[in-house]
Amino acid sequence: MSMPPRETGSFENDYGSLNAAELSAYARRAAEHLFRAGIPHNARIGLCADNGPAWDVAQAACWRLGSSVVALDPALSASDLSATVTELNIRRVLTNRHDLGALPVPTVQLGTLELLADAPTRLADEPTGGLDDEAMVTFTSGTTSRPKAIAYSHRQLLEAIKRVADALGPIRQDDRTLCWLPMNNLFQRMMNLVSFQSNMRVFYKPFAVDVFTALKTVQPTIVIGVPRFYEKAVTLGEDDLGGRARLAITGSAASSRNVIRHFEDRGIALLEAYGVSESLVPIAANSSTERRQGSVGKPLPGNDVRIANTGEIEVRGPGVFTGYLGGEPARFDGNGFYSTGDRGYFDRDGFLYIDGRMDDVFKTSTGRKVDAARIETKLCSYASVNEAVVVGADRKVVTAIIVGRGDDPAGTIPEITRLNEELISYERIAGIVFSHRPFAETSGLKTTNGKLRKNAIVEHYSREIEELYQRLEEAGRQSTIFVKQVL
């Protein structure tokens, strides 16, 4: 599939771009060629490709054929990819990669499809299918278990696009955005669709180009990213986000209030939103006209959000899924409310705050309850700490896995000592496993959304954790913070 032309202008690197009119024209022609290449109507089609205009064009072309799109992660192993294709009855896989291995269904190379302007068409001018037909299959983040598949309809997709576009507010004629997160990431795909709906131009970061270099080149006015991206931008002095940014959107995890204030001081509104894989429509979002630092905004129209007696956030609405594909049980009550697994609360003005995960609270072997997420947030607020996971379920004392901002843990110990003075005795950190290597550098420790897979992290460092606890057991009760350094 040949690439759409770049917007008029000279870029040092080959940044493809699309707007709504170009997407529609290319998708119509692409649908004809996909049909000729054997892509069936009304089937599930896998899309496993690197970022670029071809991804969005192929997705739109599949919809014109009445087919559902399954966004596949190129980072999956060949065996996991084949298993997913089989389990979801995917009929074809569209790709621009050559490293997927042998799959149980035919693949179609996007780069081999010529888009001929004068090609005759046998397809209807309008997309086939109805609003309640399946539009896409997406996956849960897999923070605690194997990702589960979820199907959404075109009706739900249109509802989600409208609600997000309304939260962004009026789009200016010169607004543009940068597509840089992996396209199998639902956050990125939805932002692209919202951009097309709002007639905003989307630029695609070339694979080999650093995101901050891409921001300087494209100069987007609306930026998206997970919280860690914005923290890194501040740390590296790239906090102008290319120089023309006016809105920045984040989600997937809690953002530091200091980071939000930092961007606000620079004239960039950093809008936190909150959603779960089980609802295509975000549950709540700060908007360009109504926002509150520290909150994830107010529930979006159509969402019925409540806090259960346990403190868990529950939601009912048009974007909520009907169940996992494959029949795994979902946590619905008799009134159709889905239990998100997140803890939260509303302030008196109706802004929603996230207060951690329900399963972030564990019990020590002495029966004391420890809120791991609260301690992790405090740890990550220190200058010497990059990432943290608190450990201690069924143990006598609490420890933590720390990713430092440098190679030496010496600077971290005084900060943990100060934190321990604030904590209840049974919450205090008795020792740390210290590493300078970010979790993202080890495959499987983070989701594509940047969320920590805590169980996988604990398993990865299990040997170091056991050695640390053995030292603590041998030492008895001491005030010294023990360190097990990962070389």
Q: Provide the residue ranges of all domains of the chain, joining segments of one domain with +.
A: 364-485
Taking phi over 0 as left and psi of -120 to 50 as alpha, with beta for the rest, 188 belongs to: alpha
pLDDT bracket for residue 71 (50, 70, 90): very high
pLDDT the model gives residue 272:
95
From the centroid of its chain, how far is CA 271?
15
More confident: 126 or 303: 303
Torsion over CA: 100, 103, 105, 106 (sign): positive
Torsion over CA: 208, 211, 216, 217 (sign): positive
Residue pair 420/478 in contact (Cβ under 8 Å)? The answer is: no
Residue pair 344/307 in contact (Cβ under 8 Å)? The answer is: yes
Mean pLDDT, the chain, whole residue set: 88
Q: How many residues does the chain have?
A: 487
pLDDT the model gives residue 476:
76
Torsion over CA: 39, 42, 45, 50 (sign): positive
pLDDT the model gives residue 8:
42
Of all residues in the chain, the percent with pLDDT exceeding 70 is 91
Q: Which structure tokens are listed for 213?
A: 């270099």
Q: Who's near 244: CB < 8 A, 6+ residues apart? A: 219, 220, 221
pLDDT the model gives residue 345:
95
| Local structure of residue 5 (DSSP, 8 states) | P
Residue pair 325/137 in contact (Cβ under 8 Å)? The answer is: yes
Of the listed ranges 201-215, 257-271, 311-325, 443-457, the least confidently predicted one is 443-457
Q: What does pTM read for this prediction?
A: 0.82
pLDDT bracket for residue 116 (50, 70, 90): very low
Residue 486 host element (H or E): none
Q: Who's near 170: CB < 8 A, 6+ residues apart? A: none
Q: What does the DSSP assignment read for 172-203?
A: PTT-EEEE-S-TTSHHHHHHHHHHHHTT-EEE
Of the listed ranges 32-41, 138-147, 216-225, the least confidently predicted one is 138-147
pLDDT the model gives residue 147:
85
Of the listed ranges 230-244, 286-300, 373-387, the least confidently predicted one is 373-387
| Local structure of residue 3 (DSSP, 8 states) | P
Backbone angles phi, psi at 193, to 5 degrees: -65, -40
Q: Is the pLDDT of residue 108 over 70?
A: yes
Span 323-344, mean pLDDT? 92
Span 79-86, mean pLDDT? 92
d(CA 176, CA 131) in angstroms, rounded, equals 29
d(CA 106, CA 90) in angstroms, rounded, equals 10
pLDDT bracket for residue 128 (50, 70, 90): low
Domain 364-485: give its CATH code.
3.30.300.30
pLDDT the model gives residue 98:
81
d(CA 402, CA 394) in angstroms, rounded, equals 20
Burial class (CB in 10 A: 0-12, 13-18, 19+), 150: buried
Q: Is the pLDDT of residue 443 over 90?
A: no
Q: Is the pLDDT of residue 323 over 60?
A: yes
Q: Is the pLDDT of residue 217 over 90?
A: yes
pLDDT bracket for residue 482 (50, 70, 90): confident
pLDDT the model gives residue 477:
64
More confident: 150 or 9: 150
- Highest mean pLDDT of the ranges 69-78, 315-324, 427-436: 315-324
Per DSSP, the three-state class of 404 is strand
Residue 352 host element (H or E): strand 352-357
Q: What is the pLDDT of residues 155-204, one digit of tens each?
A: 999 999 999 999 999 999 999 999 999 999 999 999 999 999 999 999 99
Q: Is the pLDDT of residue 26 over 80?
A: yes
